[in-house]
Structure 1
Amino acid sequence: MYWIVLVVSFCSGDNGFDGTVMSSINSMKQYQHYFGMSSSGAKTGIVFGIFTIGSLCGVIPSAILPDKFGRRFTMFFGNAVLIVGALITGTAKTKGAFIGGRFLTGLGSATANAGAKSYLGEITPPQTRGLFLGFQNSFYYVGQLVATGMAVSTGRWSSEWSWRLPLFVQMVPALLNAVFVFFLPESPRWLHSRGKQEQARQILANLHSSTGDAKSPLVELEIEEIEEKIAIDGSDKRWWDFRSLFRTAADRYRAGMVILMGSFGQLSGNGMVTYFLPVLLKNAGILDQNKQLTLTFVNSVTSWIGALTGSAVVDRVGRRRILLISTSGLVVILAIVSGLLSTNDGNAARANAGISFIYLFMVVFSFGWTPMQGVYATECLAYEARAKGLAFYNLVAQASSCINTFGLPVALQKLGWKVYVIFLVWDVFEVVIVYIFAVETKGLTLEEIDEVFNQPNPRKYSVEHRFKFKANKNLPV
């Protein structure tokens, strides 16, 4: 199982590298002079935003490929597109070619990541699903670490390779996944929907049963639940028709959870730090390019530590609680940062304190939201709508990210520290919505989660009933 999780996690490493590499490159004078760019403004917004547009277009292959060709092929296809995009971007001589390559890396990254979340959610046992999906999404920061760490070194070079080399290296996690993905077993739920029940049963036995017995009570129970919930003809084959996400009250509640994760996971203020930390550092009075790149790398390290910690405890703390704790923490931190950085009077102690709390902000965000972005939407969606639902999740997330990539460069330029106040107010709203609507899914099989959403008030029902994974509690494995 650990090998499976590692290979699948390369897709999240893709996303972390591709989404972060521009933050470091954007602060390099070598890159700015080559393309006639600045660190913020409308032109910079286009370069950042085209990756988001590519990710939005990834909704189409993300809705078609997982159900038609399987979860593994979706990862392979997405990473192949990403590799092509990285080659174009790394060799770009014109701004048009550079933007075109960024579009393809966004398209490929989104497609591969959608397949990865479906796959891992369906193949991991429920009692450790939060840990493994959280780790997979936390691998974002491994890609981010490589991107920012490399930029610290290459940023000292005077040649154009200072920014070209990191763009080529973004192919590495994609290549690793593409090479090894077909050595992994296919999703047992996808196999079952294709009429390959015995193959699905054996994979569950190999991965979920300590004895590997395909007839063990645990495997029998899981197969019974899968047969009850998944028709042999599989999911809705009309990839363009998303009405299945909104047909019943339960479907609409699930879609609401997807919208919650997709939008809040991008608009909590994290995008401001992820994409524009060098600009924030500059606004706080840190002007040296090498120091900006080094501090961006440090942010990646501390954020990853927060994400790994959250992944380790999410199966014990629960989904609702970890979201409420982390989002409330973000509100407090943003209030402090707004106060510290509201006056740019050259006070080094005040600036350093403000930057320290920006780092703490990302640690707290990563603790709660990074693992949950990998876990929650996948868990909430029923099998028949999971591929479309995760494509819809990507649509919501990337549409929300457009606000960051297109709006933030201009907002930071025009409003400065007041941007922190805007996110502060929004995060208060997030706390209220999570408290009222978020459903607890800790410890449930994907099929048991279906039962929760079929209740009149899923949030109330999930909180009032202390679920136990019945197979793990009562049956030998």
Structure 2
Amino acid sequence: MGAGAAATGSNGNDAFTHLMDPNRKWYNNRRLITLHAWIVLLLITSSTNGFDGSILNSFQSLTVWQDYFDHPVGGRIGLLNAIQNIGSLAAYPFAPYLSDGIGRRPTIWIGSVIMLVAVVLQSAAKNFGMFVGARFLIGFGLTFAANAAPMLVTEISYPKYRASLTSLYNSLWYSGNIVATWSTYGTQYIDSNWAWRIPSILQGIPPFFQFFLLFFCPESPRWLVSKGKEEQALKTLAYYHADGNEQDPLVQFEFNEIKSAIEFDREVSANVGWKSLFTTPGNRKRMTIIIAIAFFSQWSGNGLVSYYLKSVLDTIGITSSTIQLLISGILAIWNLFWAVLASFFVDRLGRRLLFLTSAAGMLLFFTLQTICTARYNIAGNDAAAHAVIAFIFLFYAFYDIAFTPLIVSYTVEILPYSLRAKGFTLFNFSISLSLIFNQYVNPVAMEKIGWKYYIVYCCWLLFELVFLYFFVVETKNLSLEETAALFDGEDASNALHNATRDVRHEDLDEKASNSAYTPTAELKA
């Protein structure tokens, strides 16, 4: 890995930064503004996920919902929480083939259609079985959209903003969480089934917009190149990254680097198919990291609060549904703030620092949460109960600075194009497995041993910290192709370097030093 890192670090990042017009900002260039508007349409896919991941937590605090579905507990409530992920599992075999076969945009659109149907069914649910079936369909459709959307975000983004925008994808999970929590907080005063039907309807807003607008969004230049549509890929890069100038040095650099990386993957048979995810040392290291952070993202103690906050609050004597919903709503806003803030610092602070800081902070505050929960349950200390709430908020602040923004962006950026869809599917599959386990085990464990279950997560968080220290590779300020080359050694790095050598040096220096070359003059184009 050392040689590969040197090759990309010394030649790639400096030249890549030099190619970008410093005066072209996201707020002063009309085509970048348009590009970012399309990216927002893709980012709200995560809002749908966040909404569904939070809605049952809120519903459990609604008396009318509990009455309608006969007060589900234990395995029954576990099934309601897990069925969305079971639906996701059913779609995983198909999602990467659609993303790589028909394109990122059509795959997201198909997922949106399925989710719209599911939202109608959930909102009109007449019984437990219909509600469960609707949630299965939501998970099934969400898998298609969630597989393609973050890849399209990272593959069309302007290089300067790629890391932050891709990190924002998972951070906006909390925007859906906020809508779900606060809409349910407001509808709790409705003394009818509309108290839960209205929030269910709101879940259809993101897929509704995607259904009508998605095909106006640009397709991935990398997908276009992989399908032999190089001219269209070049035009897409030029239109959004250089105001239509196909000879712009940044556009030429990106285009040549994309072609080189895809051609290199085609020449190396080890980079083709599912088996390739584990056939080379570089790919094995990728998948070790990716699978680990997928499980860590759900097995850090956060699953207790995300899906069973009511049970957690019950253990410290807070049983009022209004207070529980209020705490959940404030926590959602708190989480969104920290996750979005961290998204804008991923290239400044680096992935390793954020991951390690996150794990250390979670270990500290979850341990303190465990101690205070024990004091309340053993000695009835009310001050300890209030401290638990404070430590939950502090725990999530540290969780959000890495495990919300980075798990998706880090996964898609360390995977080469040929493996991106399959590797990202395996990442999502690992998350679903961890969620299904959590959603069945957590309520049973909480019911059987209460606060003592927290000790398991304290030990696991220590393991996470050690693992991240030894395995996470720093990738800040590199292009997608350069980042992927970090894991594949000197051959991949040299292939990228040779393919873009002319753009990196001769063409770039000539245009950058030419007084007639003024990219800022193109801002009005």
Work out which of the residue numbers 414, 422, 430 in structure 2 matches 1:388.
422
Q: Which residue number in structure 2 is paired with residue 447 of structure 1?
A: 481
Identity over aligned pairs, percent: 36
- Alignment partner of 1:26 is 2:50: no
Q: Which residue number in structure 2 is paired with residue 434 of structure 1?
A: 468
Quote the Cα distance in structure 2 between the aligned partners of 1:25 and 1:206.
Answer: 46
Instruction: Give the conservation status (yes or no) of the 8 Å contact 1:15–1:110.
Output: no
Quote the Cα distance in structure 2 between the aligned partners of 1:23 and 1:169.
Answer: 16
Instruction: Give the conservation status (yes or no) of the 8 Å contact 1:5–1:120.
Output: yes
Quote the Cα distance in structure 2 between the aligned partners of 1:252 and 1:449.
Answer: 16
Work out which of the residue numbers 94, 99, 105 in structure 2 matches 1:66.
99
Deviations 1:88-130 (A, max 9, x none): 1111112111111110111112221111111111112343222
Q: Which residue number in structure 1 is paired with residue 233 of structure 2?
A: 200
Quote the Cα distance in structure 1 between the aligned partners of 2:40 and 2:343.
Answer: 14
Q: Which runs of no fewer than 5 residues in structure 1 stay unpaired?
A: 459-469
Instruction: Report deviation, 1:269.
Output: 1.5
Instruction: Report deviation, 1:65.
Output: 0.8
What SS does the aligned partner of 1:271 have? helix
- The AA in structure 1 aligned to 2:468 is V
Instruction: Give the conservation status (yes or no) of the 8 Å contact 1:323–1:369.
Output: yes
Q: Specify whether residues 349 and 245 from structure 1 end up closer, same or farther in structure 2 by C-alpha distance, changes over 3 A only.
A: same
Quote the Cα distance in structure 1 between the aligned partners of 2:399 and 2:224.
Answer: 36
Instruction: Give the conservation status (yes or no) of the 8 Å contact 2:50–2:173.
Output: yes
Q: Which residue number in structure 2 is paired with residue 464 of structure 1?
A: none
Quote the Cα distance in structure 2 between the aligned partners of 1:282 and 1:378.
Answer: 39
Quote the Cα distance in structure 1 between the aligned partners of 2:87 and 2:275.
Answer: 24
Instruction: Report deviation, 1:51.
Output: 0.9
Instruction: Report deviation, 1:241.
Output: 5.1
Q: Specify whether residues 418 and 127 from structure 1 end up closer, same or farther in structure 2 by C-alpha distance, changes over 3 A only.
A: farther
Deviations 1:231-276 (A, max 9, x none): 499899xxx9521211211121121122122111111112211111
Q: Which residue number in structure 1 is paired with residue 119 of structure 2?
A: 86
Deviations 1:134-184 (A, max 9, x none): 112111111000000001011122211111211121111111122221111
Question: For 1:229-268, what aligned pairs fall within 5 Å after superposition?
Answer: 229-231=261-263, 242-268=274-300
Q: Which residue number in structure 2 is paired with residue 112 of structure 1?
A: 145
Q: Which residue number in structure 2 is paired with residue 353 of structure 1?
A: 387
What SS does the aligned partner of 2:426 have? helix
Work out which of the residue numbers 30, 33, 42 in structure 1 matches 2:75.
42
Instruction: Give the conservation status (yes or no) of the 8 Å contact 1:75–1:113.
Output: yes
Quote the Cα distance in structure 2 between the aligned partners of 1:223 and 1:147.
Answer: 41
What SS does the aligned partner of 1:369 have? coil
Q: Which residue number in structure 1 is paired with residue 164 of structure 2?
A: 131
Instruction: Report deviation, 1:64.
Output: 1.5
Quote the Cα distance in structure 1 between the aligned partners of 2:239 and 2:474.
Answer: 28
Instruction: Give the conservation status (yes or no) of the 8 Å contact 1:54–1:106.
Output: yes
Question: For 1:242-321, what aligned pairs fall within 5 Å after superposition?
Answer: 242-321=274-353
Quote the Cα distance in structure 2 between the aligned partners of 1:261 and 1:174.
Answer: 28
Q: Which residue number in structure 2 is paired with residue 463 of structure 1?
A: none
- Alignment partner of 1:413 is 2:413: no
Deviations 1:260-311 (A, max 9, x none): 2211111111221111112211111111111111111111000001101110
Deviates more, 1:87-96 or 1:319-328: 87-96
Q: Specify whether residues 235 and 259 from structure 1 end up closer, same or farther in structure 2 by C-alpha distance, changes over 3 A only.
A: farther
Instruction: Report deviation, 1:347.
Output: 3.1
Q: Which residue number in structure 2 is paired with residue 398 of structure 1?
A: 432
- The AA in structure 1 aligned to 2:114 is V
Quote the Cα distance in structure 1 between the aligned partners of 2:68 and 2:256.
Answer: 61
Instruction: Give the conservation status (yes or no) of the 8 Å contact 1:67–1:235.
Output: no
Deviates more, 1:285-294 or 1:250-259: 250-259
Instruction: Report deviation, 1:331.
Output: 0.2
Q: Specify whether residues 109 and 242 from structure 1 end up closer, same or farther in structure 2 by C-alpha distance, changes over 3 A only.
A: same
Quote the Cα distance in structure 2 between the aligned partners of 1:308 and 1:46.
Answer: 31
Instruction: Give the conservation status (yes or no) of the 8 Å contact 2:339–2:400.
Output: yes
Deviates more, 1:106-115 or 1:290-299: 106-115
Q: Which residue number in structure 2 is paired with residue 465 of structure 1?
A: none
Quote the Cα distance in structure 2 between the aligned partners of 1:397 and 1:107.
Answer: 14
What SS does the aligned partner of 1:268 have? coil
Q: Which runs of no fewer than 5 residues in structure 2 stay unpaired?
A: 1-34, 493-503, 513-518, 520-525
- Alignment partner of 1:222 is 2:254: yes
Quote the Cα distance in structure 2 between the aligned partners of 1:123 and 1:409.
Answer: 41
Instruction: Give the conservation status (yes or no) of the 8 Å contact 2:43–2:150.
Output: no
Deviations 1:314-368 (A, max 9, x none): 1111111100001110000011101111132443322111111112211211121
Q: How many residues align?
A: 460
Instruction: Give the conservation status (yes or no) of the 8 Å contact 2:362–2:461.
Output: yes
Instruction: Give the conservation status (yes or no) of the 8 Å contact 1:245–1:389.
Output: yes
What SS does the aligned partner of 1:368 have? coil
Q: Which residue number in structure 2 is paired with residue 57 of structure 1?
A: 90
Give the structure-1-normalised TM-score: 0.92
**If you compute each CA radius of gyration, which structure gives the higher value, 1 or 2?**
2
- The AA in structure 2 aligned to 1:184 is C
- The AA in structure 1 aligned to 2:413 is E
- The AA in structure 1 aligned to 2:49 is N
Q: Specify whether residues 62 and 234 from structure 1 end up closer, same or farther in structure 2 by C-alpha distance, changes over 3 A only.
A: farther
Quote the Cα distance in structure 2 between the aligned partners of 1:48 and 1:397.
Answer: 14
Q: Which residue number in structure 2 is paired with residue 461 of structure 1?
A: none
- Alignment partner of 1:326 is 2:373: no
Quote the Cα distance in structure 2 between the aligned partners of 1:229 and 1:282.
Answer: 54
Q: Which residue number in structure 1 is paired with residue 213 of structure 2?
A: 180
Work out which of the residue numbers 158, 167, 179 in structure 1 matches 2:200.
167
Give the structure-2-normalised TM-score: 0.84
Work out which of the residue numbers 55, 66, 75 in structure 1 matches 2:108.
75
Quote the Cα distance in structure 2 between the aligned partners of 1:330 and 1:309.
Answer: 18
Quote the Cα distance in structure 1 between the aligned partners of 2:63 and 2:281.
Answer: 53
Instruction: Give the conservation status (yes or no) of the 8 Å contact 2:413–2:484.
Output: no
